[in-house]
Chains A and B, each alone.
Chain A
Amino acid sequence: MTEANGHPGIARAERQAAPSPVGTGFFEPWIGRRQVLDLDDFTQAEIERAFETADHMKEILARPIPRVPTLRGRTVVNLFYEPSTRTRVSFELAAKSLGADVVNVTASGSSVEKGETLLDTVRTLRALGTDLLVIRHKDAGAPYAVARHTDLPVVNAGDGAHAHPTQALLDAYTIRERFGRVEGVRVLIVGDIAHSRVARSNAWGLTTLGAEVTFCGPPTLMPATALAVSRRGGSGQLPWPIHVELDLERAIEGVDVVMPLRVQIERQDGNRLASLREYARDYGINRARIALAAPHAIVMHPGPMNEGIEIDPDVAHGDRSVVEDQVTNGVAARMAVLYLLLAAGESTGTRDHGAETGEAEGPGHHRPGAASDAPSILDRRSVTPARERL
């Protein structure tokens, strides 16, 4: 196992300690956030606030009419440059359950096919009255380019091999639901780490919450640094605060969570795998291997599953599997993200036309000050700098 260095915890702590606007207690961790691009810039408080919000969203989803009017009149655009069913539907249900209007734009059948650039498409969507943009793109960093060139709230729904922050949120949420906590939980992520945005985002999200994460997979599917570090017997610097272990039997021993990644059959361009059969033999998650994990261990999968390759059908559908919980929690987690981004993003920190609840707040819960105490829009947007750099 490999000790990782270079966790950028200092900067994170600084952001946590930044002075906060008044009267915004609940949303405080999210104040100023305009985008969810990856979890690397999330504080623990922010993630936990998302979880608490998701708890309420789950309650809504359990109602006979699983819908509230919160985002009525707001338009959420799902801009998907890559085929996706579950993530797109999950975002769509999340937005609709909050009462938003949802527009789905896919690369095929849109002006993208006519050669319109990503940024021009985004500018058009903004002019048409989009309030929040959910973007999935085959290229790493595409949502970053969008966020830099527009003031729209942006949620990354997966960019190339880079990040999939809402998946990582729902994964951590599901772990929290099962174990009551994330801190100290040992998570093993197995498979095509090199091309996995799920692995990368989970490396940030789970470790921020105090979990211990290990990457395991065949050498040809490991990120360059992970391979170099494991080759040198653990020395060297990894970009993530995680462990690396190439041997699955050793890696799986005693872990609480096993997360096999999908073998991206369609992306096996360069013969990185000798055969799927060999992969299943060496890295497939089956009952025998699960037996090596902790007795209470759960199995997660970001889906869609290749049953019989990275995961055996009897494990995928067995009593250890929380795959269906992940799907349900995905909607709740995305509702939380949409709600927090739009609500906290627009909160000014004061409101003078108090309704009843305003007066009913107890001592110590007051909102002192008038609008002038509120942070200006510029202050809040200063969290997304670098915009001026392009």
Chain B
Amino acid sequence: MTRMRIHNGRVIDPGQRRDEVIDLVIIDGRVDGYVHPDAEGEFDQEFDATRLTVAPGFVDLHCHLREPGFEDKETVATGSMAAVAGGFTTVCCMPNTNPTLDTANDIAFVLAAGRRAGRARVLPLGTVTRGERGRELSDMAEMAQAGAIGFSDDGQPVWDARMMRLALTQSLSHTKPIVNHCEVPEIADGGVMNEGRVSDLLGLRGQPPAAEEVMVARDIELARLTGGRLHLAHISTARSADLVRRAKRDGLAITAEVTPHHLTMTEDWILGDWESTQLPRTYDTRAKVNPPLRRDEDRRALVAALSEGIIDVIATDHAPHRSIDKECTFEEAAFGISGLETALGSLVGLVDAGAISIQSVIRRLTLEPCRTFELPYGTLAPGAPADIVIFDPNAQWQVAAARLHSKGKNTPLDGHTLRGRVVMTLVDGKVVYERQGR
């Protein structure tokens, strides 16, 4: 029997409505219970978490680990290492690999790779349509049995409304969510960023917010029609949030996620410091992401909707790329931001700005994602697996892209100073990450 104590940390666990300075006791990889910091006891291991925050390990419903097929961008091993360095103990990875995750075998491959890596729990989603081609449904029931925790054609939308209707109908039997990347291709029309002031300035083709909103509305109506399990991936506009708000008011069991970058950045990040300094525009390809960074009005509406609980979950959409995928023209550059390791720091920034509470942020990184995908994690109630993140909410650090654990160094936050940094991450009571040099 291994007994472990995390001493004198501030434990925030929305699943238990707990927020207090207390000692957490772990026995054999599971949470045993809580004791007063002054309590005596015999422990094999003890971590001093004084002035640190202790929370359930974060659960990311949306990331890209690129394996199989794009191992030069990321692997399950490097991606799950980046995950635990960012405080995530469970990551759900998208099936837009090469080949795409279409079969039970593909699912088993990723699960095995995750176990081999031995860091975060790696839970794959399967495709909705074979090869993400949008023509015929994948065998979702078989994949669900093999361990797929949801289905998505992410990277692109399930653009064919009939396919989406069938997928949602099927979800009634396997009960896993259908996760849609909402973007009407004909409206997005090849746009490489948000359509508006900045795209006009830069002469770049924009995709209007309506490209997302039209499909959000379609999917909500299809969920109403079928009763299927719909989860909206990375919504990015104020109107999308409104549509979700109305659907929830109608009692539909839909869920939605938002990324840290859509909560903290705007389209202006592509311009650089042009506005204030008249310096050359940067055309910063690292801020090229899909859905695109929007206006500040949208960003603020997303923060509000998250605060309100209209948006259920914060998910990273971690999308690692090689440097040459970004060191090119904006048009040619790949979409995506490497986000697992900067998520916490970005979100603590929002808390510092008074936009949202730390309890709410943790809830949407733990309890809510587990509810959404029906995962047995996300809380530190006695008996739960000891998936834990310990972080210093006051530690300032400068992002150095080159030192990220992820292979993807593509972050527009490179060089920025963030507050809030992971100190230690445990999965099943085992330390899978400990920050060096503290």
Q: Is A–B contact present in the complex under a CB 8 A cutoff? A: yes
- Interface of A toward B, CB cutoff 8 Å: 8, 11-12, 15, 35, 37-38, 40-41, 117-119, 137-142, 144-145, 147-149, 159-163, 197, 200, 223-226, 237-240, 270, 383-386, 389-390
CB-CB nearest in chain A for B414: A389
Segment with Cβ contacts to A, from B167-175, B236-244, B273-281:
B273-281
Do the beta carbons of B328 and A37 come within 8 Å of each other?
A: no
13 contacts between A and B (CB under 8 A): A8-B275, A117-B327, A139-B330, A140-B330, A145-B329, A149-B327, A161-B204, A162-B203, A224-B196, A239-B197, A270-B189, A386-B273, A390-B282
Which of A137, A141, A224 contacts B281 (CB under 8 A)?
A: A141
List residues of chain A with CB within 8 A of the CB of B415: 389
- The answer to whether the Cβ of B283 comes within 8 Å of any Cβ in the partner chain is yes
- Interface of B toward A, CB cutoff 8 Å: 189, 195-206, 208, 272-284, 286, 324, 327-332, 414-415
Do the beta carbons of A223 and B200 come within 8 Å of each other?
A: yes
Do the beta carbons of A239 and B189 come within 8 Å of each other?
A: no
CB-CB nearest in chain A for B275: A8
A225 to B200, CA, bound (A): 7
Do the beta carbons of A225 and B197 come within 8 Å of each other?
A: yes
A142 to B206, CA, bound (A): 17
CB-CB nearest in chain B for A154: B280
Do the beta carbons of A11 and B189 come within 8 Å of each other?
A: no
Which of A15, A139, A389 contacts B329 (CB under 8 A)?
A: A139
A223 to B208, CA, bound (A): 12
Do the beta carbons of A41 and B279 come within 8 Å of each other?
A: yes
Greatest chain A CB density within 10 A among B276, B283, B327 is at B283
Given contacts A142-B329, A145-B283, 14 further A-B contacts (CB under 8 A): A12-B278, A38-B281, A40-B274, A141-B281, A141-B330, A141-B331, A144-B280, A144-B282, A144-B283, A160-B331, A162-B203, A225-B197, A237-B197, A386-B282
Which of A35, A197, A270, A389 contacts B284 (CB under 8 A)?
A: A389
Do the beta carbons of A117 and B278 come within 8 Å of each other?
A: no
CB-CB nearest in chain B for A142: B329
Do the beta carbons of A226 and B200 come within 8 Å of each other?
A: yes
- For the complex of A and B, 9 pairs with smallest distance between CB atoms: A162-B203, A141-B283, A139-B329, A161-B203, A139-B331, A140-B203, A11-B278, A223-B200, A239-B201
List residues of chain A with CB within 8 A of the CB of B286: 390
Do the beta carbons of B331 and A11 come within 8 Å of each other?
A: no
Greatest chain A CB density within 10 A among B195, B203, B279 is at B203
Question: How many A-B residue contacts, CB cutoff 8 Å?
Answer: 106
Given contacts A141-B329, A239-B197, contact A163 B282 (CB under 8 A): no
List residues of chain A with CB within 8 A of the CB of B280: 35, 37, 41, 144, 147-148, 384, 386
A8 to B275, CA, bound (A): 7
Do the beta carbons of B202 and A162 come within 8 Å of each other?
A: yes
CB-CB nearest in chain A for B329: A139
List residues of chain A with CB within 8 A of the CB of B279: 41, 383-386
Given contacts A35-B280, A41-B278, A384-B280, contact A197 B203 (CB under 8 A): yes
CB-CB nearest in chain B for A388: B415
Which of B189, B203, B283 contacts A200 (CB under 8 A)?
A: B203
Do the beta carbons of B203 and A225 come within 8 Å of each other?
A: no
Given contacts A224-B195, A225-B197, A389-B272, contact A141 B204 (CB under 8 A): yes
List residues of chain A with CB within 8 A of the CB of B327: 117, 119, 145, 149, 390
A313 to B399, CA, bound (A): 60
List residues of chain B with CB within 8 A of the CB of A40: 274, 278
Q: How near does chain B come to A241, taking the closest CB pair, in angstroms?
A: 12
Given contacts A147-B280, A225-B196, contact A141 B202 (CB under 8 A): yes
A148 to B327, CA, bound (A): 11
A236 to B277, CA, bound (A): 23
A223 to B283, CA, bound (A): 18
Do the beta carbons of A139 and B332 come within 8 Å of each other?
A: yes
Q: How near does chain B come to A387, taking the closest CB pair, in angstroms?
A: 9
Q: How near does chain B come to A133, taking the closest CB pair, in angstroms?
A: 15
Which of A142, A149, A224, A383 contacts B199 (CB under 8 A)?
A: A224
List residues of chain A with CB within 8 A of the CB of B278: 8, 11-12, 15, 40-41
Q: How near does chain A come to B75, taking the closest CB pair, in angstroms?
A: 25
Given contacts A11-B277, A11-B278, A15-B278, contact A140 B283 (CB under 8 A): yes
CB-CB nearest in chain B for A226: B200
Q: How near does chain B come to A234, taking the closest CB pair, in angstroms?
A: 16
Which of B198, B202, B272 contacts A386 (CB under 8 A)?
A: B272
List residues of chain A with CB within 8 A of the CB of B189: 270
CB-CB nearest in chain B for A237: B197
CB-CB nearest in chain B for A117: B328
List residues of chain A with CB within 8 A of the CB of B414: 389
Q: How near does chain A come to B327, taking the closest CB pair, in angstroms?
A: 6
A138 to B330, CA, bound (A): 11
Do the beta carbons of B208 and A140 come within 8 Å of each other?
A: no
